[in-house]
Structure 1
Amino acid sequence: MKGALFLGKYADIKVFLHWTFFVLPVWIGISAFRQGYSWEAISWNILLVLAIFVCITLHEFGHALIARKYNCKTRSITLLPIGGVASMEAIPENPKEELNVALAGPLVNIVIATSLYLALSVSGSPMPSFDKDFVIGSDNFLYVLMYANFFIALFNMIPAFPMDGGRVFRALLAIKISRTKATRITAAFAQVIAVLFILIGFFYNFFLIIIGVFVLLGARSEWFVEYSRFMLREHTVKDILIHRYESMEAGSSIEDAVKHLLDSTEDHFLVMEEGKVVGTVNKEILLKGLDDHDSHVPVREIMDRSFRTLHPDDELSEVYNPQKGLLKSGHLMPVIENGKLLGVLDFENIAEFIQVRTSLLRRKKASMGAENINS
């Protein structure tokens, strides 16, 4: 992952630390220093942040390991200043399964907080007084971490995307109504909550504005993905297969390929060798190839070999799955049946199909409305 530090992996799930994470402890350290805290107190504050993010990592693993039970893989977990993000290839569409996955994360934090509470009770450690002079130190560190885990669990249960509570809310709705309608209701509710966060943030805490924007973008993204996949259901690759496509030979020079680019209305091409697809190139790859290589170098040296192959009967709702990260703008996907190349598909064509379906649906609803008025 670009801009992220690889920390390691567990159960084939990679853990990354995004570079923006380092802004948080630096900001906390500077804020504490300005308030006159000692270096020891500043160190405890930073240590608390790191401990909380360990708990957040465990929270995300809670989601990932339960999702694995339902054959939903998680590629990675990325730690950001605002929390952790698990990159799941899919989220269970069965409401009860999604409910279990969504609840797993907050449950991890509840277990951590409860364990700390029991351990502190057994040890007889006195409850700290959270007054205006409160400073985090060795005597109250675990208490603060305990409350932080309770807060993480509670905050994540806000019924708004992209928080766990939003997925819980959708799953409960989806038991009675369709997943698409449940997503629309949850996304609308999330946007109301986001606006409230932003308005309150202007008067009380700027951080609430950041959370509000985060919720707003998350709600819109979740609805867009669900709506797009809904519009593609019951359609397969062969329904929108592109039969006219451009190609070039793997042995062609970069110079010839660029001439081909300039002489064509297309920006991306299949690369063929002995009648078979061996890669793809687009305008960006060719221009970078000109910068980094001699113009006589063959295209096979710069082509993208990680193309995705489709079958004409593949469902479009599965092909278009942003969570799997397999569909990229500007990348051709050859469609092959019994070893024969039938055509290609790309992100832009799928997006256009969704737009066409949306327009037809709007026209149908408008016509039905007009008929009801006339009747």
Structure 2
Amino acid sequence: MSGSFKIAKLFGIDVFVHWSFFLLLLWIGWSTSRSGGDAAQVLVGLATVLALFGCVVLHELGHALTARRFGIGTTDITLLPIGGVARLERMPKNPVQEFWVAIAGPAVNVAIAAVLLVVMVLLGRSNFASADALTGNSILANLFTINLVLVIFNMLPAFPMDGGRVLRALLAMKMNYVSATETAALVGKLMAVLFAVIGIYANPLLLFIALFVFLGASGEVRMAKMGEWIGNLTVDKAMMTQFRTFSPDEPLASVVDELISGSQVDFPVCQEGHFVGMFRRSDLPGAIETHGHESTIANLIDRDCLTATPDGSLEHLVSKMQSTGVGSVPVLQGDRVVGLVSQENINELVMIRSAAANHRDQVRDRQSAGQPNSTPVRDASSTNTVV
């Protein structure tokens, strides 16, 4: 994620923190001091926030390590002021697997709360009704309460919270994946409307949460339908076969000319026909500022880039592209580039297959109503006639 830097590597997973997280720490320290708190109270507040985000990391590791058991990797974990994000390479389509991956995060918070409860009982600090325990004088009590709140919030049956994924997984055990997603999304949108109504009269923060939930529900439906439209396709069905490549010793001026005159934005770099890496448009402005138009692209090649094979799963490639933020991926046959997959290609393919699917639905509706069949159409990725 842009603006983040690595702070640790846990169980082989890189953990990043976004720069805005430090604004949160500054705000906590400033607000505590401004309200009359002394240095000790400021330190307690900061320590509580840091401990809280330690719990968030453990929560995300719960998702990541459970996904790993089902053969799904995690790109990284990033800490943000609003929480954490574990970027899985893909979400499991098996509802049982999705259930366990989704519930693993909240289960970690339950375990943390249980441990904190035992520690506080042993220390004689289990009087949670006292004002001191809930206003910052007890880090343990604060963390206990916060972990319970995290469990309740995350288990709300609304995307993109874990509870929405748990609900979809349970529904998908009885119906198809897209229908389960649409039903779970509808529940989430109804909750979003409820949050918005309450937020108008009680707490404006709920308006933000309502928007977050509503958009998350819509996004999950789009992703589920995309998976249905491209789930059985291989990479070669979406790749460009007409594309421009560069050699490492070509000048940046050549890339500029190609960008202006064509529609391709990222370029495979090949040495005597063998793939070397990718040159990406995002690297061009800084390179020109630093080195000028006549410098070569040799030192600007992404040599450790994501690649694909023609017979690979297109759905898995799309998930990896989204989790890594890559816009274009070279398709290799051995060490030769045979194609290029871009987000634009994928969007166009999804648009065509969506239209074809809608047409098939209309044909079925007319057949059910006893009307004559329409003209057969061809599936966008197949040579077989589809009626």
Give the distance between the partners of 2:96 and 2:133, measured in 1 at CA: 46
Which residue identity lines up with residue 94 of structure 2 in the other structure?
N
Give the distance between the partners of 1:312 and 1:357, measured in 2 at CA: 19
Residue 288 of structure 1: how far off its partner (Å): 4.0
Give the distance between the partners of 1:286 and 1:52, measured in 2 at CA: 40
Partner in structure 1 of residue 354 of structure 2: 358
Give the distance between the partners of 1:176 and 1:20, measured in 2 at CA: 42
Partner in structure 2 of residue 108 of structure 1: 108
Percent of paired sites with the same residue: 33
Partner in structure 1 of residue 274 of structure 2: 276
Partner in structure 1 of residue 293 of structure 2: 295
Partner in structure 2 of residue 158 of structure 1: 156
In the alignment, does 2:253 pair up with 1:255? Answer: yes
Change (3 A) 1:39 1:373: same
Change (3 A) 1:310 1:47: closer
**Kept after mapping to 2: 8 A contact 1:308/1:334:** no
Give the distance between the partners of 1:178 and 1:185, measured in 2 at CA: 11
Change (3 A) 1:29 1:250: closer
Q: Aligned with 1:321: secondary structure?
A: helix
Which residue identity lines up with residue 309 of structure 1 in the other structure?
T
Q: CA-to-partner distance for each residue in 1:121-158, whole Å, 9 max, x for gaps?
A: 34433515445996421xx4322322222221122111
Residue 373 of structure 1: how far off its partner (Å): 4.4
Partner in structure 1 of residue 190 of structure 2: 192
Structure 2: which 5+ residue stretches go unaligned?
372-387
Partner in structure 2 of residue 181 of structure 1: 179
The 5-angstrom pairing of residues 6-17 of structure 1 reads 6-17=6-17
The CA RMSD over aligned residues, in Å, is 2.8
Partner in structure 1 of residue 59 of structure 2: 59
Q: Aligned with 2:179: secondary structure?
A: helix
**Kept after mapping to 1: 8 A contact 2:273/2:336:** no
Q: Aligned with 1:298: secondary structure?
A: coil
**Kept after mapping to 1: 8 A contact 2:106/2:150:** yes
**Kept after mapping to 2: 8 A contact 1:269/1:332:** no
Residue 283 of structure 1: how far off its partner (Å): 4.5
The 5-angstrom pairing of residues 201-240 of structure 1 reads 201-240=199-238
TM-score using structure 1 length: 0.87
Which residue identity lines up with residue 104 of structure 1 in the other structure?
A
Q: Aligned with 2:246: secondary structure?
A: strand
Change (3 A) 1:94 1:134: closer
The 5-angstrom pairing of residues 133-144 of structure 1 reads 135-137=135-137, 140-144=138-142
Q: CA-to-partner distance for each residue in 1:18-60, whole Å, 9 max, x for gaps?
A: 2222333333344444444444434333322222222222222
Residue 326 of structure 1: how far off its partner (Å): 4.9
Change (3 A) 1:356 1:113: same
TM-score using structure 2 length: 0.84
Residue 353 of structure 1: how far off its partner (Å): 0.3
Structure 1: which 5+ residue stretches go unaligned?
none
Partner in structure 1 of residue 97 of structure 2: 97
Residue 166 of structure 1: how far off its partner (Å): 1.2
Q: CA-to-partner distance for each residue in 1:76-114, whole Å, 9 max, x for gaps?
A: 222222212112222332222222222222122212222
Give the distance between the partners of 2:321 and 2:188, measured in 1 at CA: 20
Residue 193 of structure 1: how far off its partner (Å): 1.6
Question: How many residues are aligned here?
Answer: 371
Which residue identity lines up with residue 333 of structure 1 in the other structure?
P
Change (3 A) 1:23 1:220: farther
Residue 358 of structure 1: how far off its partner (Å): 0.9
Residue 302 of structure 1: how far off its partner (Å): 3.0
Residue 352 of structure 1: how far off its partner (Å): 0.3
Give the distance between the partners of 1:323 and 1:298, measured in 2 at CA: 27
The 5-angstrom pairing of residues 284-363 of structure 1 reads 284-322=282-320, 325-326=323-324, 328-329=326-327, 331-336=328-333, 341-363=337-359
The 5-angstrom pairing of residues 18-97 of structure 1 reads 18-97=18-97
**Kept after mapping to 1: 8 A contact 2:133/2:141:** no
**Kept after mapping to 2: 8 A contact 1:90/1:323:** no
Give the distance between the partners of 1:258 and 1:28, measured in 2 at CA: 47
**Kept after mapping to 2: 8 A contact 1:14/1:75:** yes
